[in-house]
Amino acid sequence: MTTLPWLQHLIVVPVLLPLLVGALLIPVNQNRHTLKFAMSLTSSVLLWLVAVALLLMADGGHWADGIGVYLASNWAAPFGIALMVDRLAALMLVLTATIALAVLVFSAQRWDRVGVSFHSMFQFLLMGLNGAFLTNDLFNLFVFFEVMLAASYGLVLHGYNLRRIRAGMQYIAINLAASLLFLIGVALIYGAAGTLNIADLSQRVASLGAQDAWLLQVGASILALAFLTKGAMWPLGFWLPTTYASASAPVAAMLVLMTKVGVYAVLRVWLAVFGDAAGALDGFGLAALGVGGMATLAFGAIGMLASQDGGRMAGYGAIISSGTLLAVIGHSGSAVLASGLYYLLGSTLAMAAFMLLIELTERIRPPGAALIAITMEAFAIEDKPEEPVGVGIPGSLAFLGLSFAACALVISGMPPLAGFVAKFSLFHAMLASTAEMDGGVPTRTWVLIALMVSGGLAAIIALMRLGVRTFWAAGVVTPPRLKVSEAAPVTALVLLCVLLTVQAGTVFDYLGRTVDGLARNADYSARVLGEPPVLRAPAAEGAR
């Protein structure tokens, strides 16, 4: 009898644990806030530990080729559901768990109490996110996307007011349309190739006939529209700034991570299906992705300069981040991928910290500012709960100012923090990958570099303007009262950005191994399709 090592079951834990905890939290009375928070926090801490364990296993030689496979229901791929963890999936799991922990602690003082079922929806959101990173099947990717989106619908409307309801309805409508496109694209791909397993699909692409190849390209294009709507590529990401500005701070921080799921899906599917082994379809759609990414980058920079509200400014900052990632992926494929992943880590952590920080900096405003804001919104009811009573942290203004400056430096890509390291490495990688081409560096490379520099300048100008208005132009201000549970998550995320800078060499070494693994498409397919099911021992004679 063949048994499955118990460590192998860790692969499915990031999906099952939040599902079970979220279900258990539903019948718990809403008045028992401490119990609900304790259960949710325990689940999130365990998820972080499991994610770190999976990362160490993927990078430490525990699995062949650094790829672990888990066959749900013991059905072999491509017929059964196969969950797969490699260095990239494990990295995204750790990033998700880290931001989730920070968000959960931040929300403990008030945001988890201004509506119902916050913790259940939060756990279901984590289930959808983790499942999207682990799945190796397009249909199950659709299922996990829907779980993630269904939870996010409730969270976006959490603590609702008129403004949040309007933005939430737009968010729901756009994502329902994207889900429909997702399903249509999946159906066309299955009709063309006869499989939805990504590893199996990558082996069949090169052998497809002309008609099936054309149908596959149509299906993949429609699927890309769904991914890029969630990834906020221009013009599909028009919904994002309004949603960011209207959502509560913890939810907006999680939306930053959700935007990167669309980018991850494009990266995972396109590298596997339209890689070197795709024959005539090698690199399909990458040129269009590069152009769309550059347009998104320009749109985000213009929007950031035009924004006055911190939430909308953060939304356009997230669009700049997505546009940069999509542009570099489409421009050079896997050649600059390590630098792009480093940029993803730094920008996501900084943007999540910035979304939480906006909530705290708004307390600096004098009371008259809030009254004017209410009047300008046609007497809409203020959606934020009353300021909690607590002991003010000494130097709270200095803490907010330093945190704001650190986030601004990372988001804009200015030295000396991780944003600058990421952009510098991107420039170096793009120039190095095209330097040996006949005719020198192509024009599109210089255009992309110019857009990235312009986007950084636009971001620092907009953020400096916001910082001046918040910390200096507000007149005499009283240092805001901050809870330790509110300051600690922001501090942790900012310190992670600093650590990412200090340990850039170590991180790049890991990302280099990640990219090398992604480039070995044959190893990936062999590991997923070759994973044997667990054999059961035959029944004993006496048991018949």
* Residue 494 parent element (H or E): helix 484-502
Q: Which residues contact 176 (CB under 8 A, 6 or more apart)?
A: none
For the stretch 101-135, pLDDT in tens is 999 999 887 777 776 788 899 999 999 999 999 99
For the stretch 275-299, pLDDT in tens is 777 778 887 888 888 899 999 999 9
pLDDT of residue 389: 47
How many Cβ atoms are within 10 Å of 61's Cβ, its own excluded? 9
Q: Is the pLDDT of residue 492 over 90?
A: yes
Query: What are the phi and psi torsion angles at 135 (to 5°)?
Result: -70, 150
Average pLDDT for 216-228: 91
For the stretch 49-101, pLDDT in tens is 999 999 999 988 888 888 888 888 788 778 888 899 999 999 999 999 999 99
* Residue 70 parent element (H or E): strand 68-71
The single residue listed with the structure tokens 């409730």 is 154
pLDDT band at 365 (very low <50, low <70, confident <90, very high): low
Residue 280 and residue 221 in contact, taking contact as beta carbons nearer than 8 Å: no
Query: Mean pLDDT in the chain?
Result: 83
pLDDT of residue 3: 64
Q: Which token pair is 8?
A: 């192998």
Could you give the CA distance from residue 49 to residue 61 in angstroms, rounded to a whole number?
19
Give the residue from 252, 234, 229, 228 showing the smallest Cα distance to 242: 252
Sign of CA dihedral 187, 189, 194, 196: negative
Query: What are the phi and psi torsion angles at 391 (to 5°)?
Result: -85, 125
Give the residue from 331, 467, 367, 369 showing the smallest Cα distance to 409: 467
Could you give the CA distance from residue 111 to residue 126 in angstroms, rounded to a whole number?
18
Locate the DSSP E strands across 188-290: none
For the stretch 399-451, pLDDT in tens is 888 888 898 999 988 888 888 999 999 888 888 877 666 667 788 888 989 99
How many angstroms separate the first and last alpha carbons of the chain? 18
DSSP for residue 417 = S
Q: Is the pLDDT of residue 210 over 70?
A: yes
Size of the chain in residues:
544
pLDDT of residue 24: 92
Query: What are the phi and psi torsion angles at 60 (to 5°)?
Result: -105, 10
For the stretch 157-171, pLDDT in tens is 877 677 788 888 888
pLDDT of residue 378: 40
* pTM metric for this prediction: 0.89
Q: Is the pLDDT of residue 396 over 60?
A: yes
Query: DSSP of 122-142, one letter per residue?
Result: HHHHHHHHHHHHHB-BHHHHH
Q: Is the pLDDT of residue 376 over 70?
A: no
* Residue 239 parent element (H or E): none
For the stretch 18-45, pLDDT in tens is 999 999 988 887 778 888 889 999 999 9
Could you give the CA distance from residue 332 to residue 515 in angstroms, rounded to a whole number?
13
The single residue listed with the structure tokens 């490379």 is 445
Share of the chain above pLDDT 90, in %: 30
